[in-house]
Amino acid sequence: MGRKKTGVKIGKIDTDEEFNKKLLEVFAQLRETMNNMDRELAIKLLYWLNDWSANYLRNEKNFNYKELMRYKRGSIVEADFGFNVGSEQGGLHYAIVLDKYNHKSNKVLLVVSLESLPHDKKPEDLNENYELFLGYGIFKEDIKKLEKEIDNLNKKIKQRENKGTDVTNLKITLSRLQKELNKLNRGSVAQIAQICALSKMRIYQPKKMGDRFSEFRLSDDKMKELEEKIFKLYFNKMIEKEKK
């Protein structure tokens, strides 16, 4: 059964007046929808609409893809997956590049998204058909930096407390860093069912050599394991049918 259309009826538009009228109707509908959404979800959508219009739509025609570094098989990128539907990946996430060769003029990358191992799970608890544990080594440099930042921040807080200085903002920063450290320490999981073609405009980092992750490559063993799981999930049944 097809999805019933309940939105604004647009039809053919021939004039600026018709376009602007329908534009206002769609905006009014969007506002009503967002006002009735979960507030946290609505705020995330608001952020995405702002980025989408200001940073993507306006720059799409003039974006110079060749200025970006060349991304290789096993590279890691941090990218804005946007605001998506249902269980589709959304927001700022890490991902592994699957392309064996991606020219600098190519506008997209094929990636598989990464998530942290859930705090209530062990690697052996993962669904082996859809998830692959990649270990604890991907973010080891970031973990070292965070540990150093946290240590320095704790010293600064203690010094200011001894002087009777307000440390509210420092403690907020400390809490954020500790959450990030706990997340990275849990290890990384490739979400094999979350493969997509990602526009390079969405890449937050790395953009050039010297940026975070610019020289990182997932090991050949892990890449092979990842590719085998992808092949098994998407192509094995097809091949089995052809053999019959």
Answer yes or no: is pLDDT of 241 > 60. Answer: no
How confident is the model at residue 72, as a pLDDT? 92
Distance CA 80, CA 213 (A): 16
Answer yes or no: is pLDDT of 28 > 80. Answer: yes
Answer yes or no: is pLDDT of 102 > 70. Answer: yes
How confident is the model at residue 83, as a pLDDT? 82
Answer yes or no: is pLDDT of 22 > 90. Answer: yes
**H-helix or E-strand spanning residue 33:** helix 16-35
On average, the pLDDT of the chain sits at 87
Number of Cβ atoms within 10 Å of the Cβ of 32:
10
Distance CA 171, CA 176 (A): 9
What's the whole-model pTM score? 0.77
How confident is the model at residue 243, as a pLDDT? 53
Relative orientation angle of helices 16-35 and 39-51, to the nearest 10 degrees: 150
